[in-house]
Amino acid sequence: ELVSVLPPYYTDRKSVDCSWEDKGRIMRSLFEENKEKEIEVIDGLKVFHEQGWALVLPDAEEPVFQVYSEANSQEEADALTSLYTGKINALQLK
């Protein structure tokens, strides 16, 4: 019964390769870039957007970031994941 009254939500997840050396710099850059938004910093960086949220987690055992998102539609979840994977890739080029 409770499930029927909850709004639907959609998720997405992608991995982004990143060198160990760049992970800290990229996390700091993402934090600075999003500090005006509602964020949570627990194990990673969770950024809240109007349509949902994205969570950027630096993997503890591999040279990669895990990017998770949740939104009101699959398209919005995919867009949030793509936004943050794109930011990570762009920051690696700097």
Does 21 map to a domain? yes
Number of domains in the chain: 1
Does 1 map to a domain? no
Domain range enclosing 55: 9-92
CATH code: domain of residue 53: 3.30.310.50
Does 74 map to a domain? yes
Query: Which residue reads 């539609």 in tokens?
Result: 73
Does 3 map to a domain? no
Task: Give residue-wise pLDDT tens across range 49-82.
Answer: 999 999 999 999 999 999 999 999 999 999 999 9
Does 4 map to a domain? no
Does 56 map to a domain? yes
Task: Give residue-wise pLDDT tens across range 6-27.
Answer: 778 899 999 999 999 999 999 9
